[in-house]
Structure 1
Amino acid sequence: MKTIKTCRGPLSLVLAVVWLTVAGSAWAKLTPEEVARLGNDLTPVGAEKAGNADGSIPAWEGGQAAAPAGWSPEQGYVDPFPQDQVQMVISAANAEQYQDKLTPGTLALLKKYENFKMPIYQTRRSAALPVQVTDKAKAQSSQVELQGFGLSNLNGSTIPFPIPKDGQEAIWNHLVRYLGGGFERTFHWFPVRSSGDSYKVGFREFRVFDQNMDRSVDNHLFSYLGYFLGPATLQGTVYLVREPVDQVREARSAWIYNSGSRRVRRAPDLAYDNVSDGTESMRVTDQYDGYNGAPDRYEWKLLGKQEIYVPYNAYKLSDKSLKYQDILQKGTINADLMRYELHRTWVVEGTLKNGQKHIYGKRVMYLDEDSWTLLVEDAYDTRGQLWRVGVHPLIQFYDAGVPWYRANIWHDLSNGNYLVSGLDNEIKQPWTFGSKGRQAEFQPDALRRAGH
């Protein structure tokens, strides 16, 4: 697919739409010639292997495919680039100078919060996936098809459209991206009010993809259990989700167990813009993991690629010597713990369809070309006003071959609140990847036992 370079951001993106709408309307399978590019001029996931023209984005050379020498999981994810220094800091004072490499949401945050700053480091293209994962994706890349708003012939691929022809294909790359086949993790999140007041929510989750189950089930993408560990008002609440691949043929199945009532009930509203418990309404269901669920309520346009400063290699947030009070600040988290780098991103715009319901009328998503991970989301209300900004720092979980979030942050521009999730600085238990599961563990009758 032709790469569209942007110069002043919004203008060139608009011009890009015309070409992409024509080129991507057919949803054609990849040709043998396109497949042959994977691993050659393109990386195994479809990114440009070469660096950019001025060298500020280097060539991809395999990523951070191994843990640092002497590393153990109990240390947390230590920085493999400790020698890197801040090259410059973007703040409200100089933001206009770099606006062509900033999203509208990031610019709004710089203007709104005096302590929102962006320390810029050299670009490290650290994302890497296991070779068996990329081999599988390449073998399947000429077979996967969009059928309406679902997928067919996925067959275990985690990069269904390495050379996307439209916005929906790009979004699906994020939805099914490789996360180790399964994982277990315990973490905390904090709703932080504009006053700076906050409280801690404890959560444990267990997600297993179909390929890591004891037996495969038709149209099954993954199964998920999520447990609230605190505060007391939420402790003992457990979610069960069974996620299909083709969400047109079969809707998401979800259940919830409440320890107070000791009842298991269906949760058909655990989707789209249903407000997530314990978030002070700052995150809706389909913003979990950046973005998840059925993409059918939006028209998705692929606006091309843009070089922007994104949160990347944010290993400072993994430091086990940090206390949460070192991270949380009024307005935003401690900027000194963030790391931003210049990366190429796929820009995807979702516009709410006529007759469909969602609190966001438009969403612009910036997907990392090296991992298909959503790094920044600008979310607009139904009147077209920029409302919320998702900032999602990425690291390479080098022991598992998984590029994933070190944290997730959602800012509400209307009231000054924010939510930060995915922190484990005060938790000793390491996250584990490669988890396997049994279908029997993810059935409604097992949910009550999980609540105890």
Structure 2
Amino acid sequence: MKHLALIAALGIAVSAKALSPVHAEPVASSANLTPVGAERMGNAEGTIPEWTGGISAPPAGWKHGDSRPDPYGDEKPLFVIDASNADAHAAKLSAGQLAILKRYDGYTMPVYPSHRSCAYPGSVYEATKANTGIARIDEDGKLLAGKGGFLFPEPQTGAEAVWNHLIRYQGVGSTGRLITASPKKNSGNFSIGLLERTSYSRFHDPERASFAAMENVGGEQITEILSPNQIAGSLMLIREAVNGDRETWRYMPGQRRVRRLPDFRYDNPITELDGLIVADQANMFNGQLDRYDWTLHGKQELYIAYNDWKLNDKSVSYAHILQPRFPARDVMRYELHRVWKTEGTLRAGLRHLYNRRVFYSDEDSWIIAATELYDGRGELWRVQEGPIGVIWELPACINRVQFHFDLNADRYVAAQLRNEERPYDYLAGQEGRIDKTVFMPDYLRLAGRR
């Protein structure tokens, strides 16, 4: 069946001389802000540079399937943060980062020069500008108006900042294989699942001319689990609403039928990952905002995982990345960036495993780069890290990989690694390699193979 590339709800080195990043001519916004609402200028110390357009095109001669040469591959760390000097850097570390540094012997954060690499198509910049004064949400965080681009380039509330992450541009659609892995405590073994994913963003599809035309669906995904064998052949369809509940269906190969899953949201645990993360942790945060009151704390400077070429290089194996207590340190790169800090506090009378959650969103991409998740006693329980990298053929910044640390279980989950799989197709949506009509429950019945 044509385009039978099916997906996962969760939602990979070539030595090269430093390449000259290709800079797009920015669409004019304000004199002080970039087209997505970031501060155009660097900081006073010069440790955060000015935004000059980012990397908006592949290097000369690069084509889909080639290794991605690292524009900054010749750089060396400026310094390395570890448990011994973490307190000296605490002003630019999150509570979650400090907790991990002090908990895990050998955990380090190599800090490199900062580069503001993120760029987006002119159409995204224009849509972002058009959303000014138009995009709006209700008191429960449901989207009432807005289309394409970033909704709130100058957010006034915490919920608006979170919406910029939820509807961030990652292309019109993509397809490919990826893995999730959860190391077993003190054993050196890993539970690994191979998934095939096709995703489609109605919200960013230029063929859908208005908010009403989206029929309340912002994005859609189909997942096929390829391994482990006991659940191979399972298919899942998610239709993410922009102003209501998501719809989820799953094809069960043993039963040969499709079931509606009304509870695949909020704090329902993802059983395939031993319950180490819950449904709305995938992709750092997803789904509805209505169980929390959101506070926007403003901006701060923070060391975050950024420009992740080495982590995602085809020559780096899963076995190398997946160390027992935390990912390998020699594939990580941290840079100083400005982030928006947003806090969600559980509303009175509602329930969720996390009583409080804190997000740190990169100003140049609105991606949530780091989080802290607190239990009902107010204790830090889980920490997330979403390294940010450039997909220059779109262009866009995304977090291809996320790491989810459970401090109580002393384990972590690595989600969406794809180093050893065939090249991921990020242009499939705009170049017609996705059948946009297949995101229906009936398709799961047709596609089920066992």
1:66 counterpart = 2:57 = yes
| d(CA) in 1 for partners of 2:350, 2:176 | 34
**Pairwise CA distance, 1:193:** 2.4
Contact 1:273 1:358 in 2 (8 A): yes
**Pairwise CA distance, 1:427:** 1.0
DSSP-derived class of the 1:315 partner: coil
- Work out which of the residue numbers 20, 27, 38 in structure 1 matches 2:29: 38
Opposite residue 117 of structure 2, the aligned amino acid is S
Opposite residue 127 of structure 1, the aligned amino acid is C
Deviates more, 1:92-101 or 1:316-325: 316-325
DSSP-derived class of the 1:73 partner: coil
**Pairwise CA distance, 1:439:** 5.2
Alignment match, 1:355: 349
TM-score, normalization: structure 2?
0.89
| d(CA) in 1 for partners of 2:166, 2:242 | 10
Contact 1:68 1:80 in 2 (8 A): no
| d(CA) in 2 for partners of 1:134, 1:213 | 13
| d(CA) in 2 for partners of 1:374, 1:291 | 8
**Pairwise CA distance, 1:237:** 1.1
Q: 1:431 to 1:317 in 2, by over 3 A?
A: farther
Q: How does 1:207-356 map to 2 (within 5 A)?
A: 207-210=199-202, 211-212=204-205, 216-247=213-244, 251-356=245-350
Alignment match, 2:127: 136
Contact 1:188 1:421 in 2 (8 A): yes
Contact 1:317 1:406 in 2 (8 A): no
Contact 1:191 1:417 in 2 (8 A): yes
Identity %: 38
Opposite residue 176 of structure 2, the aligned amino acid is R
| d(CA) in 1 for partners of 2:292, 2:233 | 34
Q: How does 1:19-168 map to 2 (within 5 A)?
A: 38-148=29-139, 149-154=141-146, 156-168=147-159
**Pairwise CA distance, 1:398:** 0.7
Q: Deviations over 1:201-248 (max 9, x none)?
A: 11111111115397643222111111111111221111111112112x
| d(CA) in 2 for partners of 1:103, 1:317 | 21
Contact 2:179 2:192 in 1 (8 A): yes
Alignment match, 1:423: 417
**Pairwise CA distance, 1:38:** 2.8
1:446 counterpart = 2:443 = yes
**Pairwise CA distance, 1:39:** 4.6
Contact 2:177 2:194 in 1 (8 A): yes
Which sections of structure 1, spanning at least 5 residues, go unmatched?
Answer: 1-35
- Work out which of the residue numbers 170, 190, 193 in structure 2 matches 1:198: 190
Contact 1:115 1:331 in 2 (8 A): no
Contact 1:90 1:118 in 2 (8 A): yes
Q: Between Structure 1 and Structure 2, how many residues are aligned?
A: 413
| d(CA) in 2 for partners of 1:451, 1:213 | 31
**Pairwise CA distance, 1:290:** 1.2
| d(CA) in 2 for partners of 1:123, 1:429 | 27
| d(CA) in 2 for partners of 1:75, 1:422 | 19
**Pairwise CA distance, 1:277:** 3.7
Alignment match, 2:376: 382
Opposite residue 441 of structure 1, the aligned amino acid is V
Alignment match, 1:29: none
Q: How does 1:12-23 map to 2 (within 5 A)?
A: none
**Pairwise CA distance, 1:323:** 1.7
Contact 1:409 1:421 in 2 (8 A): yes
Which sections of structure 2, spanning at least 5 residues, go unmatched?
Answer: 1-26
DSSP-derived class of the 1:54 partner: coil
**Pairwise CA distance, 1:336:** 0.7
| d(CA) in 2 for partners of 1:286, 1:253 | 14
**Pairwise CA distance, 1:434:** 4.6
| d(CA) in 1 for partners of 2:333, 2:128 | 30
Opposite residue 328 of structure 1, the aligned amino acid is L
Q: Deviations over 1:128-162 (max 9, x none)?
A: 110111111101222111123211221x2231110
Q: Deviations over 1:315-354 (max 9, x none)?
A: 1012211221111112101001000000000000001111
Opposite residue 401 of structure 1, the aligned amino acid is P
| d(CA) in 1 for partners of 2:69, 2:189 | 29
Opposite residue 309 of structure 1, the aligned amino acid is Y
As a proportion of its length, which structure holds more helix?
A: 1
| d(CA) in 2 for partners of 1:142, 1:104 | 35
Contact 2:174 2:424 in 1 (8 A): no
| d(CA) in 2 for partners of 1:237, 1:213 | 32
Contact 2:251 2:448 in 1 (8 A): yes
1:391 counterpart = 2:388 = no
Opposite residue 177 of structure 1, the aligned amino acid is R
Opposite residue 278 of structure 2, the aligned amino acid is V
Alignment match, 1:10: none
